[in-house]
Amino acid sequence: MQQTRVLVCDDSALMRQQLKKIIESDPEFCVVGAARDGNDAVDKARDLRPDVVTMDINMPGIDGITALQLIVEEKIAPVVMVSSLTQQGAEATLQAMALGAFDYIAKPGGTVTANMSSVAREITRKLRAATITGTLDRLSRPSADSQTRLVRAQQREVRGRTRRRSLASGIGYRAVAIGISTGGPKTLMEVLPFIPADLNAAIFVVQHMPPTFTCSFAKRINDNCPMRCYETEAGMRVEPNTIYLAKGGHHLTLFKKENNEILIRAPKRPEHLFIPSVDIMMESVLSVFGSDTVGVLMTGMGDDGANTMVKIREAEGATIAESQESAIVFGMPQEAINRGGAEVVAPSWDIAGEIIKAVGGGAF
């Protein structure tokens, strides 16, 4: 079996040693080099041509984000960032994801930690996923320009106005339930900024992400989208024309009062592989909005959300899955498609338009 060749980049000798030990504990991988700073990382990536790179964000000289850009632009290898769980680390990691990083691994105990073994399985799982054929091309592709996307969205809006015009739930607006994981920060920025502020829907988003990251990500969405965006808090009132990003470490569920007012709940249970969970969020949204639910499943490993996409379609809601053409990791949307839960399959750059079409345009 040919081994996956990994380049490890970190300014800490301890971290380089720990990462090498964890990676090579899996016979599928071998570490072909180690770099101590950004310049060294770029030089060794060019020389060694690894299959995948782990990259620390904070390094002397050229930092990890600049090194990432050079490696991705030159299409050398996918890059998995290694970051701290601080707010500063979250903001830098989100920037790296927007610039083409495949995914990130959050250090469990600060910039230098002796506890990387606690995330060993996550490390090898993400390195393995990063080397799937075509991943680097999808990470480095240029985004469709804004004007092209707006024209596509407007075209779908016109065609969609007669499609789902009547509202069945009695709430007065629809719900868009979006589930996404690996590659999500980059992909969501290919969708949410192109949804108009007057769309007659509330948008609920589960992005698999640590608790310390979701506040920064909600702010990034809010700063770049026509709709306002909030990180969810228990008791928050749901309103249309608003994006609700599930808080890390908490599920996103809804409670409907007798007067049709809807409130956010943010429980930590039930136990699940992912907290927040796409399936749990979609199930709750479906229980409140019924056929007025639009389910959307995009890039990510595994199958979180796939079963509930089937239920949304069976309840005569609308369902949209990202196509393999654009998905950085095709796992989650592929499972929805294979199980019959995808009414529409579209690349990320067309999903905003498909959402507009499913909702029925702007405010009525």
Q: How far apart are CA 64 and CA 79, in angstroms?
A: 10
Number of Cβ atoms within 10 Å of the Cβ of 318:
25
Q: How far apart are CA 341 and CA 255, in angstroms?
A: 25
Q: How far apart are CA 54 and CA 82, in angstroms?
A: 7
Catalytic residue among 250, 304, 323, 326: 304
Q: How far apart are CA 27 and CA 350, in angstroms?
A: 40
| DSSP code, position 144 | P
Residuewise pLDDT in 10s, the chain (364 residues): 799 999 999 999 999 999 999 999 999 999 999 999 999 999 999 999 999 999 999 888 899 999 999 999 999 999 999 988 777 788 999 999 999 999 999 888 665 666 788 889 999 999 999 998 788 888 877 655 544 555 555 554 444 443 455 788 889 999 999 999 999 999 999 999 999 999 999 999 999 998 889 999 999 999 999 999 999 999 999 999 999 999 999 999 999 999 999 999 999 999 888 999 999 999 999 999 999 999 999 999 999 999 999 999 999 999 999 999 999 999 999 999 999 999 999 999 999 999 999 998 543 3
43 is catalytic: no
Tokens of 203: 């948008």
Contact between 325 and 347 under an 8 Å Cβ cutoff? The reply is: yes
**Nearest of 173, 217, 167, 169 to residue 192 by alpha carbon:** 217
Query: Residue 155: its pLDDT value, please?
Result: 53
pTM summary value: 0.91
Query: Residue 363: its pLDDT value, please?
Result: 38
Q: Amino acid letter at 164?
A: R
251 is catalytic: no
Cβ neighbourhood burial of 364 (10 Å; 0-12, 13-18, 19+): exposed
Catalytic residue among 51, 56, 83, 181: 181
47 is catalytic: no
Catalytic residue among 40, 208, 323, 350: 208
Q: Is 207 in a helix, a strand, or coil?
A: strand
Q: Amino acid letter at 353?
A: G
Kindly list the strands in the beta sheet with 344-346, ordered across the sheet, starting from the edge strand earlier in the chain.
Answer: 228-231, 242-245, 201-207, 174-180, 293-297, 318-322, 344-346
Contact between 119 and 19 under an 8 Å Cβ cutoff? The reply is: no
